[in-house]
């Protein structure tokens, strides 16, 4: 994840923090509590999708296209 804060991330006291306990983002109480686990797992999911594309990216399939699209969205690439 080149220009992103490296994972793993975790939920701590209303914030998502990195390995050194530096805040990646601050959560708004109640509104983002449901999304906090999804946000914290983002680096792991990014790495998993990248591993799938690295291993099977030469195959023509809907799954690979979806993985590539999700990675591009995470990278801010259209």
Confidence of residue 2 (pLDDT cuts 50, 70, 90): low
- Residue 35 is predicted with a pLDDT of 75
> Which residues share a beta bridge with 41?
none
**Structure-token pair, residue 15:** 């914030």
Instruction: Let me know the angle formed at the C-alpha of 75 by 6 and 25, rounded to the nearest 5 degrees.
Output: 50
Q: Is the pTM of this model over 0.75?
A: no
Give 16: exposed, middle or buried? Use CB within 10 Å, 0-12, 13-18, 19+: buried
Q: Identify the three-state secondary structure at position 6.
A: coil
> Which residues share a beta bridge with 12?
15
pLDDT digits (tens, 9 = 90+) for 25-72: 887 776 666 677 888 899 999 999 999 999 999 999 999 999 999 999
């Amino acid at each position: 994840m080149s220009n992103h804060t490296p994972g793993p991330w975790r939920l701590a006291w209303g914030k998502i923090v990195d390995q050194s306990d530096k805040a990646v983002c601050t959560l708004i109480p109640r509104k983002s509590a449901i999304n906090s686990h999804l946000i914290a797992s983002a680096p792991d999911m990014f790495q998993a999708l990248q591993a799938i594309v690295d291993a099977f990216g030469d195959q023509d399939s809907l799954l690979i296209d979806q993985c590539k699209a999700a990675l591009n969205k995470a990278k801010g690439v259209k």
